[in-house]
Amino acid sequence: MHRAPAAAVLLALLACSAASAQVYRWVDDEGVVHLSSEKPPPGVKAERIEIGSSKSSSKASNTRRTGSAGAAPAAPVSPQQLAEREDLLGRLRTRECVIALEALERKTSGTEPTSATELRRLQQTVDANCSQDPTRRLQQEEMAAKLRVANSPSCVEARNRLAAMMAPDSKTPRTALQSQQVFVDEHCTPPVR
């Protein structure tokens, strides 16, 4: 499956989020990806990402949830911080949803070998992260279709052709280079990273 590391995506999202927030990301025993602003169930190993206005990068560490004894009280969260946290979680869930939808379609089309376990894991990831709102779900499915095209052999070839055209020793006319760039930008840019 084509996945950008979660940390890289979170760093990109930091530019959009100024709220102090902690996001927990974990994969359960069946391989389903979960994202939440709430701590995971007891004993679950999770990646904790702290996002704050005074920090310029995310901090991720493997942690285990322990009892609340000895834990520092949580700082109050403003309505704006809560809204920004929920927006961030929504974007992260959309990313996981779109990637799972694209992989599920690819694997059920018969073009790739797969197993019932993998299909079940992908479907559970879709169920856990995709929107139940029909309008939003349609948008997520459209993004998955764009991701499928962006990962297709024709787009790989188009990006390789563009790279060759941009080589220092290339004598490609400027108009041909611009045309190829427009094609890649319009058809081969993944909607999620």
10-residue mean pLDDT series, the chain (193 residues):
42 43 79 81 82 42 42 70 84 91 88 87 93 94 91 90 91 92 88 72
C-alpha span between 89 and 23 (Å, rounded): 7
DSSP 91: H
Residues 6+ apart with CB under 8 A from 24: 34, 35, 36, 37, 38, 39, 40, 46, 47, 48, 49
Under a CB-based contact definition with an 8 Å cutoff, are residues 80 and 11 in contact? no
pLDDT of residue 50: 67
Task: Please tell me the distance from the alpha carbon of residue 129 to that of residue 141, in angstroms, as a whole number.
Answer: 12
Query: What is the C-alpha separation between 32 and 99, in angstroms, rounded?
Result: 12
Q: Phi, psi at residue 75, to the nearest 5°?
A: -70, 145
In three-state secondary structure terms, 149 is helix
- Per-residue pLDDT, 73: 61
Residue 77's pLDDT is what? 73
**What pLDDT, on a 0 to 100 scale, did the predictor assign at position 191?**
79
Residue ranges of domains in the chain: 6-55+82-151, 154-187
What residue type is 132 in one-letter code? Q
The β-bridge partners of 24 are 36, 48
Residues constituting the chain: 193
- The pLDDT value recorded for residue 13 is 45
pLDDT value for 9: 44
What pLDDT is recorded for position 51? 62
DSSP 61: E
For CA atoms 112, 191, 86, 70, the dihedral sign is positive
Structure tokens at 86: 């929920």
> According to the model, what pLDDT value does residue 137 have?
94
Strands (E), 28-83: 33-36, 45-51, 59-64
